[in-house]
Amino acid sequence: MPMKTPQEYIDSLRELDLVVYMFGKRLKSVVDDPIIRPSLNAVAATYSLAMNLQYEDIMTATSHITGKKINRFTHIHQSVNDLVKKSKMGRLIGSITGCCFQRCVGMDALNALSITTYDIDKKHKTEYNSRFLKYLEYVQENDLVCDGAMTDPKGDRSLPPHKQPDPDMFLRVVDERKDGIVVRGAKAHQTGAVNSHEVIVMPTISMREEDRDYAVSFAMPSDAQGITYIMGRQSCDTRKLEEGTIDRGNAVFGGHEALIVFDDVFVPWERVFMYKEYEFAGRLVEQFASYHRQSYSCKVGVGDVLIGAAQTVAEYNGADRASHIRDKIVEMNHLNETLYCGCIACAAEGHREPSGTYYVDPLLANVHKQNVTRFPYEIARLAQDIAGGIMVTCPSEEDLKSPETAKWMKKYFRGVESVPAEHRVRILRLIENLTMGSAAVGYLTESMHGAGSPQAQRIMIARLVDMKDKQKTAKKLAGIGDDAK
């Protein structure tokens, strides 16, 4: 059966023997940990929505390998329509979970590798693509969550991999055997890592011949021997340990990041998709990055939630009819829909690669992501402006329930008479969560640094824009000949 139910997904995670540390201690159960569980719930939502007939067209696809119905997160894009549906899927799930749902990176890694492995084979007569397709069928048949692991710790940014004082600052091959390779290193900022069945490793930068030991791509089970996870912290993360739910803002869903350490991990040849073909490392990075920059349609969905919360708190405050509030809500919608235009545009302008995989327009994907580094911050600022200072000075849920303080909380934290104080506190906590709390990692920091830094997109925009053509057009209209400077 190629599609899992949410419960089957959760049960499958229980079968994994992950080595996970948080707050200096190894976790006994990732599935049941109260800090991690909201992120698991967000991934489970991707399985639930795929089972919902209302969203079937967006959430599912037909495998080009088996012809079976599969979850779109395991699909290789076969048309421009697939690319457009991917953007719509991101917005949909973002609006339902209000957070990062963690499966985009793996999906983008699969699609990038479907192109790069084909291109490497064409040049070097290797067999990476056939290995990859066999692996892809395994992922689709078991409806697996894949963690796309690209970002290395990098060490001294001024030095290439082979010149690092500590050679493990970029993941590398340390041994070659008859049956496979041994790798060592780490991957940082890994979204949804411990909610994944598989880890797909890719290079993080373009490589030179001297860096060939670092030009490696492979996939391994997430609980493979030698893999250790160290959970990252998030603002307000320990609120999830409290008995109440109001102060969490979003009590059901969330995200997580982790450092993945590869301590001499053995990788069999059948799971290796690049091995020392250094000239293709940069190409794989760019292809993955373009796909993943398109994936930030998810921030549009989270923006929908934040805009809805801002409108609601304005009504609860009795300020929704003020002209400046209305104007701010319009501006929030304008920015959010502009982001949506970008992710749809780069999909609609996509094209077919020689491998058969459809690839987004990389220029428009980078323009879209550049906007994502800015617009969510302004949307968040406007939401905080509308919410007011009470968002960060409001007492706790315990004070709302305490016999000694509840009456004062209900009296002095009410806005309009018709709305209970608790409802006002709840919507304020949601805005706090999205703009300052644990969800702000997924909405703001991810918007800035996810899929590469803002400067990385500007470099790609400069590289991809055809300035000569723009100059030619301008000169022609100005009556300047082609031979003029």
Helix axes 281-294, 323-348, angle to 10 degrees: 140
Catalytic residue among 146, 298, 343, 394: 298
343 is catalytic: no
What lies within 8 Å, CB to CB, of 138 at 6+ separation is 144
**H and E: helices and strands count for the chain:** 19, 14
- Compute the distance between CA of residue 159 and CA of residue 451 in angstroms, rounded to an integer: 21
Catalytic residue among 64, 77, 292, 368: 292
191 is catalytic: yes
277 is catalytic: no
Residues 361 and 345 sit within 8 Å (Cβ to Cβ): yes
Catalytic residue among 99, 100, 343, 394: 100
151 is catalytic: no
Catalytic residue among 277, 286, 315, 446: 446
337 is catalytic: no
Residues 143 and 47 sit within 8 Å (Cβ to Cβ): yes
Handedness of CA 365, 88, 254, 1 (dihedral sign): negative
Residues 19 and 160 sit within 8 Å (Cβ to Cβ): no
256 is catalytic: no
Catalytic residue among 46, 191, 312, 357: 191
- Compute the distance between CA of residue 336 and CA of residue 347 in angstroms, rounded to an integer: 17
Catalytic residue among 9, 117, 198, 257: 257
Supply the DSSP string of 329-392, one letter for each residue: HHHHHHHHHHHHHHHHHHHHT-EE-TTS-EE--HHHHHHHHHHHTTHHHHHHHHHHHHH-THHH
Catalytic residue among 55, 296, 340, 358: 296
141 is catalytic: no
Catalytic residue among 46, 60, 74, 104: 104
CA–CA distances in Å: residue 196 to residues 1, 425, 470: 19, 34, 45
Residue 269 burial (10 A CB sphere; 0-12, 13-18, 19+):
middle
104 is catalytic: yes
Give backbone dihedrals phi and psi of 426, rounded to 5 degrees, phi first: -60, -45
The H or E element that residue 484 is part of is none
> What residues are labeled active site?
100, 104, 191, 257, 292, 296, 298, 446
